[in-house]
Structure 1
Amino acid sequence: MSAVVYFSSASRNTERFVEHCDFPSCGVNVFRIPLQPNAAPLNVREPYIIIVPTYGGGDARKAVPPQVKRFLNDPANREWIRGVIASGNTNFGEAYAAAGPIISRKCHVPLMYRFELMGIQEDVHAVREGVRRFFIQSPTDRKTLQ
């Protein structure tokens, strides 16, 4: 099996993007990291690509949402990560989608794609097809979507 794990804030931008990708129709499971800190933690035990928004308003030290840090700090979850896709706001310049490169470096996986806010149809197509191809080729392959 293969999966996409995502985090979405109350704005639901990332959630809407993931919904538009319709991963289940191509055989990819979808799991959401809980928004509320007191919710039961998510445990994923299959190869996955994580899709995350960037927080911090341009401050790279605050780019990775705390809920994502909590999820990735679980060694069993971290074992299954195969890549990262990040969203951001180009208004933040150098910090655009900064959560992606941070997670990529810390987890030793490729930054596979970046998109702005909710993405556009081109982003949805690229991510959906890229994720599908990635998992067909090999769930442990560390190639990028582009």
Structure 2
Amino acid sequence: MVYFSSVSENTARFVASCHLEDEGIDVRRIPLRPSDPPLQVRSPFILMVPTYGGGVVKKAVPIQVKKFLNDPDNRAWIRGVIASGNANFGEAFGAAGDIIAAKCHVPYLYRFELMGTPEDTRKVREGVVRFFRERAGTTASA
């Protein structure tokens, strides 16, 4: 799992509540500051991202996520996207996920509002764990 979280830490708290590391899933964070070393990923991952822009779809994907995905080696390993957003933004709710899924040709797996509900946490955890377990089974039998 690769995720981006702003200084609000909402996405970071959501990821932590999923307890993915307890299932043996590596969780990595895209750096917040440009001065931080860039994240390089060389294995399949699901991207979790908040939606920015206050309802303006063109501004939905955080700059740090764009930079991460503009590295062709990172982009080659994305297998799905999960996005958060604010339902008050109407059609722009979770728009970062729509944009990333379309540009990277991956499924938009799930969207949730703000910091998510316990049900969102359960669904994301179960879905991510299932994804990586199935992937391991496919790799093991190939």
Q: TM-score range by the shorter chain?
A: over 0.9
The Cα of 1:39 is off from its aligned counterpart by: 1.2
The Cα of 1:38 is off from its aligned counterpart by: 1.7
The Cα of 1:27 is off from its aligned counterpart by: 1.2
1:55 to 52, 60, 67: 52
Alpha-carbon distance in 2 for matches of 1:32, 1:96: 22
CA-to-partner distance for each residue in 1:78-119, whole Å, 9 max, x for gaps? 011000000000000000010001000000000000000110
The Cα of 1:138 is off from its aligned counterpart by: 2.0
2:5 counterpart SS class = coil
Which structure would you say has the larger Rg? 2
The residue correspondences of 1:63-78 to structure 2 (distance < 5 A) are 63-78=60-75
Partner of 2:133: 136
Q: How many residues align?
A: 137
Partner of 1:144: none
The Cα of 1:37 is off from its aligned counterpart by: 1.4
| TM-score with structure 2 setting the length | 0.94
- Cα RMSD, aligned residues only: 1.0
2:123 to 116, 123, 126: 126
Alpha-carbon distance in 2 for matches of 1:135, 1:19: 17
Identity of aligned residues (%): 64
Alpha-carbon distance in 1 for matches of 2:61, 2:86: 14
2:41 to 44, 50, 56: 44
The Cα of 1:136 is off from its aligned counterpart by: 1.3
Alpha-carbon distance in 2 for matches of 1:124, 1:70: 27
Which of structure 1's runs of 4+ aligned residues deviate more than 6 A?
none
Partner of 1:23: 20
| TM-score with structure 1 setting the length | 0.92
Alpha-carbon distance in 2 for matches of 1:37, 1:118: 25
Q: Which runs of 5+ in 2 are unaligned?
A: none
Alpha-carbon distance in 1 for matches of 2:75, 2:17: 26
Partner of 1:10: 7
Matching residue's letter, 2:65? V
Alpha-carbon distance in 2 for matches of 1:91, 1:35: 25
Q: Which runs of 5+ in 1 are unaligned?
A: 142-146
Matching of residue 82 in structure 1 with residue 91 in structure 2 = no
